[in-house]
Amino acid sequence: MSDAGVLVVERFNAAWHRGDLAAVSACLAEDVTYGPSAWDGPAVTLRGRDAVCRAFADQLGPGPTLAAVRSAGDRVLCEWSWPPAEDGTVLRGVDLYLVEDGLIAAKDVFSKITAGD
């Protein structure tokens, strides 16, 4: 499962950075859940491909620098970081995915601000 999980998350990330919502949607299970980071607004969990894609629609496009995608069983982890802000702080985080039957069944985002490198 780990190779399939990594591949679907890598396809998802590539589609995200291209701004291709249809390709992003194709990586998601129909009953996907999405738990955004506190930086993305209220702490709510979105459920279902349509609701999740509506939330993603305004976020797609080039974004943070992504580190290697890693997996353990049905869980896939992708670390990311934004370039330093004017004050030198960096927003860093991880996206934690649950992959089932070759599709993303859940995406949870965890982030924090650090003092930089």
Place of tokens 């992708």: 78
- Contact between 103 and 12 under an 8 Å Cβ cutoff? The reply is no
pTM of the model: 0.88
Domains of the chain in start order, with CATH, are: 2-114 (3.10.450.50)
pLDDT-derived band at 4 (thresholds 50, 70, 90) equals confident
CB atoms within 10 A of CB 58: 7
pLDDT at 112: 87
Strand 103-114 vs strand 28-35: parallel, antiparallel, or unpaired? parallel
Half-sphere exposure of 34 (CA within 13 A, CB side): 19
Q: What is the mean pLDDT of the segment spanning 63-81?
A: 89
